[in-house]
Structure 1
Amino acid sequence: MKKILLAALALIGTYSATAQQTINGVNVEKSITVEGQELELNGAGLREKLWFDLYVGALYVTTRSSDGNTLVAANMPMAITLDITDEAVTQEKMKSSVEDGFGDSCTSKQQKAIQSEINTFIGFFKDAIVKGDHFEIAYLPAKGTLVSKNGTALGTITGLKFKKGLFGIWLGDDPADEDLKAGMLNK
């Protein structure tokens, strides 16, 4: 009887370790692979504004942490995924939100130093954004920040300074959404 109970507990433990998390109808994977680099889910949450559930954001890392500033500054592989869950998220609103986000994430001097990279990043949102779109923003130290939409590469931006400003939008001291930040940091 004891062996059966232990086997059942082991099976349940295996299932829960590989099970997906679902937020607002989006299945959040426990891990993702970016160019051969395995990343584990650190946490996930919902970006809300007024009465709109805009997108589900998830943070993937090699070393889990609940310290946003440490993760923003870290020169280690990590990724943020954004799954659009509302038609209120449009191409123009995304561009505007990114501009505002960098303004909140960086000092004006820091933003000026990476403005060219910010412009390139905003240029990645040239096509319409619709409910169900999946964005992956991954940082790999040897390559930079790789951006894809629905599995199609949009481009790469080199530099740790840009990565810090970008990831600071969600994980910094003045994030886009406090509840989303807490979810991504698994708090």
Structure 2
Amino acid sequence: MKKLTSAFLLSMTLAAPVSAVTIEGVDMPDQMKADGSELVLNGAGVRSKWFIDLYVGGLYVSHVGSDPKAIVAADEPQAIRLHIISGMITSDKMTSATLEGFDASTDGNTAPIQAEIDEFMGVFKDEIKEGDVFDLVYLPGEGVKVSKNGNARDTISGIEFKKALFGIWLSDEPAQEDLKAAMLGKD
């Protein structure tokens, strides 16, 4: 009887619709609106460093895909959500890590988009604390709209900037390989 009850509960869990993915206590919604576009969660995972979980990152796209180069290059609505889960993240640490990410995603050639990077880095000047949520939403013709905790912070134009930004997590040298795999739905 115990096996039957367990099997029944498992089948009910698998059959139930999933409205969000929960990772490290963070609910990542299965959909996100981007100025009229409906984006779906492609995948999500945890960014860790030195055995400390820092943030949950989720990739939202118009249609699910697993090719990182195609996702980075796509000139279509997309978003990355970063949900801070550690008090160890500070403004200075986030700035430093993001600059390293831009360097890695551009193979060290940040010069063509340096003005956009400098503008973007202003988003991290205010204190960052556990529970903060950053949304990086790319819209063709507009650029990357950045918000913190639902409050618009800046819009940085240009597809080349978007490619470098999304490359932080999806390039050949991502911030973390298993986070990249998770965002691509390969975990």
Deviation at 1:19? 2.3
Aligned match of 1:176:
175
What SS is found at the alignment partner of 2:124? coil
Aligned match of 1:6:
none
What SS is found at the alignment partner of 1:121? helix
Return 5+ residue gaps in structure 1 as ranges: 1-8
Aligned match of 2:74:
74
CA distance in structure 1 between the aligned counterparts of 2:141 and 2:100, rounded to whole angstroms: 28
CA distance in structure 2 between the aligned counterparts of 1:133 and 1:71, rounded to whole angstroms: 25
Aligned match of 1:114:
113
Residue identity matched to 1:117: E
Deviation at 1:51? 1.4
Deviation at 1:34? 1.6
CA distance in structure 2 between the aligned counterparts of 1:83 and 1:108, rounded to whole angstroms: 27
Residue identity matched to 2:31: S
CA distance in structure 2 between the aligned counterparts of 1:50 and 1:69, rounded to whole angstroms: 28
Residue identity matched to 1:99: L
Aligned match of 2:131:
132
What SS is found at the alignment partner of 2:152? strand
Q: Report the RMSD for the aligned CA atoms in angstroms.
A: 1.6
What SS is found at the alignment partner of 2:173? coil
Aligned match of 1:89:
89
Aligned match of 2:122:
123
TM superposition score normalised by structure 2:
0.90
Deviation at 1:142? 2.2
Aligned match of 2:43:
43
Give 4+ residue runs of structure 1 displaced > 6 Å after superposition: none
Deviation at 1:119? 0.3
What SS is found at the alignment partner of 1:56? strand
Residue identity matched to 1:37: S
Residue identity matched to 2:158: G
The total of aligned residue pairs comes to 176
CA distance in structure 2 between the aligned counterparts of 1:107 and 1:45, rounded to whole angstroms: 24
TM superposition score normalised by structure 1:
0.90
Identity of aligned residues (%): 49
Residue identity matched to 1:23: I
CA offsets per residue over residues 13-62 of structure 1, 9 Å max, x none? 4x42x421100010010001122211000000000101110000000000
CA distance in structure 2 between the aligned counterparts of 1:108 and 1:170, rounded to whole angstroms: 15
Aligned match of 1:57:
57
